[in-house]
Structure 1
Amino acid sequence: MTEPVTGRLRVDGATLHYEMRGSGPLLLLIPGGTGGAASFDGIADDLAADHTVASYDPRGMSRSALDDAEAAQRVAQHADDAFRLLELLSPRVPARVAGCSSGAVVALHLLIAHPERIERVVAHEPPVVEVLPDAAEHRALLARVQDTFRREGLMPAAAEFAAGLRRPGSDPVVVGAAAELPPQAAARVERTMADMPYFLGRIVPSFMAYVPDVDRLAALSERLVLAGGEDSRGELPYRAVAFLAERFGGELVHFPGGHTGLSTHPAEFGALLRKVLSA
């Protein structure tokens, strides 16, 4: 793996850690969950063959410290962070963007807010559950998760959250398990678990309550690639992105693996992402 060039960018209320590899047009990778920039380590080198690949730790995660540790988190502010990185790394030239999970929510808002700066966006399973007809059920899930977090702590709340995301009748998810992950991904579990209280307590409630401007996205859909996991059909984030694809009359591109296919199938995931970006 090529060692990236690292940098720091001062933004409103935080200092972002970012990483860059390769040369060519900018591809900004926006991580989801607690993965941070390192979540793309398994695919960044391959993508860097024909892109300047940049990623970062979102504000409040890992090496991107908040000025105020208690500050509320908003999708729009996270999208502005991504915009500031585009302005720094690809001034005046539209860039390509890919995001996974909560990072895909950020990517959608970035496209809505700054379409002139975006050539193409790949959004893999953004959990924009407010677009679904049964959104009220998912608001109740989020309320249960936060209540469990307050009363019982992190791991019971994480288990409640994971259970609410999976398809009905599927096997339980073991939260924090790394046995089935490639060694590179498994080695990150300890660090990412350290960010779990922030993610579950601050990011999840805000990001899963986010209501995208669906009409605006529809008008920009020629620049938007909506993606889901082959193995996550019927799960909550998949249902949300599939709903948008149907609403826009477009194709839902299926990536290998499930919601975390980036970690479980990095080579295949990266190859398809590279193909989709160049289409």
Structure 2
Amino acid sequence: MTTTTDYLSVPGATLYYEMRGNGPTLLISQSGEGDAGRSVDLVKQLADAYTVITYDRRGLSRSTLDDPGSGVTLTEHADDVHRLLTAVTDEPAAMLGCSLGAAIGLHLALRHTGQLSTLIAHEPVAPRLLPAQDRTRHEAELAEIQQLYRKEGLAPTLKAVAGVLGIDPANPDAEPGLTPQPMTSGRIANFGFFIENDFTALINDTLPVNELAHTPTRIIPAAGRTTPRIVFDHRCAQELATLLGAEVTEFPGGHNGNTTHPRAYAAQLHRTLQAAKVGWRSGSSTLTRLTRGSAE
């Protein structure tokens, strides 16, 4: 299936994005160093049922900043997604936000009411969702990781990030046949931008969490099945669920289940969007294939 690529000028940056598939619009906002290609295996599973949009966040890969030293904010990220969706569709879209992408989605749901029909917020890295004492502690933790990166480099920093998010590199759990994601120079640069700039955006975030219960967007808190319940990201998902009076929807894998378990994750994503009454083709062969994928 053909992938369409394009660029979009937005205030302060130029965004690169990709579109693939047919059907209702589904935007995927990845976290970490993830650019438009990070969810490639998941997109392959979804493209028969949705028009899937992935993009490079501003500052990553091909999405360049007009002023490379300007930094980023979560509201800028949310406005970027708003402008991207406005450029490609005039209908409410569904969004899968993973980690930082989920925090971006929460801002989008509040800043641009009605643009999202459904937001699946998978383990939002959003300290503002936590009680004040825990929020302060995790904001300090992010600042400490930034300092670690500046003093000792990427390798120990990635180990620290994995610990915070409940990822166990010594026990990888993934579906077979995934597209290789080598640690290229571009990916290393993206990690550096993420740690230096997006961490700061999270520390300085002002998300008005109490307003989330009143947005018309259907927000679905989600978490990985294997993510420890006590870690920061799972607790954020649980706090979001409590705020919304909802349950946390479990997805296959852990924090990065969308990349480690793309077939099973796609099946659960499709079921979740179906239940949320997002535009979907019920009874189709696509539904059968996606649902079957959860058992593979």
Is TM-score (shorter-chain normalized) higher than 0.5? yes
> Residue in 1 aligned with 2:243?
247
> Residue in 2 aligned with 1:160?
160
**Alpha carbons of structure 1 residues 157 and 50: separation in structure 2 relative to 1, 3 Å:** closer
> Residue in 1 aligned with 2:196?
201
Q: Does 1:131 align with 2:129?
A: yes
Q: Deviations over 1:195-236 (max 9, x none)?
A: 111111111221254242222111127611110011112221
CA distance in 1, matches of 2:18, 2:63: 12
- Report deviation, 1:100: 0.6
Greater mean deviation of Cα atoms: 81-90 or 215-224: 215-224
Q: Does 1:15 align with 2:14?
A: yes
- Report deviation, 1:187: 2.7
> Residue in 2 aligned with 1:46?
45
Greater mean deviation of Cα atoms: 269-278 or 45-54: 45-54
Which of 221, 224, 229 lines up with 1:226 in the alignment? 221
CA distance in 2, matches of 1:49, 1:172: 33
For the 8 Å contact 1:130–1:209, the answer to whether it is kept is no
> Percentage identity across aligned positions?
36
Q: Deviations over 1:229-261 (max 9, x none)?
A: 111122211111111101221011000110011
**Alpha carbons of structure 1 residues 43 and 151: separation in structure 2 relative to 1, 3 Å:** closer
CA distance in 1, matches of 2:175, 2:168: 17
Greater mean deviation of Cα atoms: 15-24 or 154-163: 154-163
> Residue in 1 aligned with 2:71?
72
Within 5 Å, give how 1:21-100 maps onto structure 2.
Answer: 21-91=20-90, 93-100=91-98
CA distance in 2, matches of 1:41, 1:158: 22
Q: Deviations over 1:101-124 (max 9, x none)?
A: 111111111111112211111111
**Alpha carbons of structure 1 residues 220 and 71: separation in structure 2 relative to 1, 3 Å:** same
Counterpart amino acid of residue 220 in structure 2: V
> Residue in 1 aligned with 2:108?
110
Structure 1 residues without counterparts, runs of 5 or longer: none
User: What stretches of structure 1 move > 6 A for 4+ residues in a row?
Assistant: none
Aligned residues: 271
Matched position secondary structure for 1:186:
coil
- Report deviation, 1:178: 8.2
Matched position secondary structure for 1:195:
helix
CA distance in 1, matches of 2:59, 2:173: 27
CA distance in 2, matches of 1:95, 1:209: 28
Greater mean deviation of Cα atoms: 200-209 or 29-38: 200-209
**Alpha carbons of structure 1 residues 242 and 37: separation in structure 2 relative to 1, 3 Å:** same
TM-score with structure 1 setting the length: 0.89
For the 8 Å contact 1:27–1:95, the answer to whether it is kept is yes
CA distance in 1, matches of 2:3, 2:172: 25
CA distance in 2, matches of 1:182, 1:231: 18
**Alpha carbons of structure 1 residues 173 and 73: separation in structure 2 relative to 1, 3 Å:** same
> Residue in 1 aligned with 2:141?
141
**Alpha carbons of structure 1 residues 227 and 221: separation in structure 2 relative to 1, 3 Å:** farther
CA distance in 1, matches of 2:222, 2:203: 18
CA distance in 1, matches of 2:53, 2:17: 7
> Residue in 2 aligned with 1:236?
232
> Residue in 2 aligned with 1:270?
266
> Residue in 1 aligned with 2:210?
215
For the 8 Å contact 2:2–2:21, the answer to whether it is kept is no
For the 8 Å contact 1:94–1:117, the answer to whether it is kept is yes
Matched position secondary structure for 1:257:
coil
- Report deviation, 1:173: 4.0
Matched position secondary structure for 1:54:
strand
